[in-house]
A and B are shown apart, each in its own frame.
Chain A
């Protein structure tokens, strides 16, 4: 771990908040993609009998 000196809080905060936002966006996007794909598969299966 590098010595961040007196700005350790600011640098950690920037990296921590960015990680939360990026990972949150990725997780939500992937989860919705999977949910919609499953629902569409079910709807197509009903349609095809």
Chain B
């Protein structure tokens, strides 16, 4: 069966019904396990002390903040090219999840940065790109709410998503473009020299798996809700027309 067959709302609803609780359960197990492992059973860092425990929230949230935008980008492109409504609704459904992940990354970063850098905030390339990404999420959600005609809203938000992708890329690679700023390089690397130590790495991987599953569960749940809301809107319009 082709992937495009899931652009049919009925087929999408049928296929995703069992996935939401499964992904939700995986997310719950991984998050509880990973966060408990990281919080209770890993040592303090020799330089950063116990603040290293913030990594189990900050890194997965930052990863998901960027990847949620890329997922929205792919869905928006599918909408613009093939006009599949489910993809536009999936992009809309992902935005509040991405916004929350971005906010968690910003908040935990500020709380971590204060004792390590001596400041809650700095106009560092990566931090600034993340703040702009946060504002793009807000703008994207506001635009969906502001435009009444659904297809026009999907068109406009898709274009906004394309523009915002620049900052999603910058959020990830800004530290490579500009060799300046307070933020360190990537915590996760294939290079064993720069990757975090194994004692932090494995619980971090479990937490990342938890955040990915949580993102999947929430996006599917919210997409299903958007499809139902669209159907409800149509039925109410028909009722009004019948009454008139």
Residue B169 at the chain A interface, CB threshold 8 Å: no
Residues of A within 8 Å of B54, CB to CB, are 10-11, 14
Q: Among B80-88, B138-146, B218-226, which stretch is in contact with chain A? A: B218-226
| Residues B108 and A18 in contact, CB atoms below 8 Å apart | yes
Q: Is B126 an interface residue (CB 8 A)?
A: no
For chains A and B in complex, what number of residue pairs have CB atoms within 8 angstroms?
Answer: 95
- The answer on a CB contact under 8 Å between A11 and B50 is yes
Contact string against A for B residues 104-121, beta-carbon threshold 8 Å, 1 for contact and 0 otherwise: 100110011011000000
How near does chain A come to B38, taking the closest CB pair, in angstroms? 10
Interface band, chain A? 20 to 34
Listed in ascending order, the chain B residues whose CB lies under 8 Å from chain A are 35, 39-40, 44, 49-51, 53-54, 57-58, 61, 96-97, 100, 103-104, 107-108, 111-112, 114-115, 214, 218, 221-222, 224-225, 228-229, 231-232, 235-236, 238-239
Q: How far is the CA of A44 from the CA of B54 in the complex (A)?
A: 48
Contacting residues, chain A, for B224 (C-beta < 8 A)? 33
- Evaluate contact between B115 and A10: CB separation under 8 angstroms: yes
**CB atoms of B115 and A7 under 8 A apart:** yes
Question: How far, in whole Å, are A24 and B54 apart by their CA atoms in the complex?
Answer: 20
Q: How far is the CB of A39 from chain B (nearest CB, A)?
A: 6
Which residues of A1-48 are within 8 A (CB) of B? 2-8, 10-11, 13-15, 17-18, 21-22, 24-26, 29-30, 32-33, 36-37, 39-40, 43-44, 46-47
Query: Are A36 and B232 CB-contacts (below 8 A) given A14-B54, A22-B214, A26-B218?
Result: yes
Is the Cβ of A2 less than 8 Å from the Cβ of B39? yes
Give B96's nearest chain A residue, CB to CB: A25
